[in-house]
Amino acid sequence: MNALSAHDDPDDAGAAYHNHMPVYWRIFISLAVLTGIEFGISLSMDPAQGTLYMLGIVVLVLLAAVKAALVARVFMHLKYDPKILSLLCVLPVILGSPLVLFCIWDGINGPSFG
């Protein structure tokens, strides 16, 4: 009664690691492409453009949120957790982003009161 199951096979110890490598490579390539897009946007932005500059900041914040979600889902294993835990991680970002964007707008255009 000392038979090894498929999970106890010592020759198969690295199989779990190798099975995740395609996912890790896709995430790596996605993060690299998104970072390149962010870099290109940031180089083309000019504060004198006004509304277009603000739109660029909004796009950069959205791209950063997508990158954070990719990392959280895969490397923090939120993909396998209950959905309520993912919601608890995403909710502060959703609620805080308008405040951050308003503060950026206020910093560009000056105080909106007084």
* Model pLDDT for residues 20-73, shown as the tens digit of each residue: 788 889 999 999 999 999 999 999 998 888 778 888 888 998 899 899 888 888
Structural domain containing residue 63:
25-109
The rounded distance, in Å, linking the Cα atoms of 2 and 37 is 56
**Number of domain units in the chain:** 1
Q: What is the tens place of the pLDDT at every residue in 87-107?
A: 887 788 888 888 887 887 777
- E strand intervals along 1-114: none
Q: Does 62 reside within a domain?
A: yes
The rounded distance, in Å, linking the Cα atoms of 99 and 65 is 15
pLDDT bracket for residue 78 (50, 70, 90): confident
Structure tokens, 48 = 């004198």
Q: Does 45 reside within a domain?
A: yes
Structure tokens, 71 = 């990392």
Q: Does 9 reside within a domain?
A: no
Q: Does 102 reside within a domain?
A: yes
Query: Does this model's pTM top 0.75?
Result: no
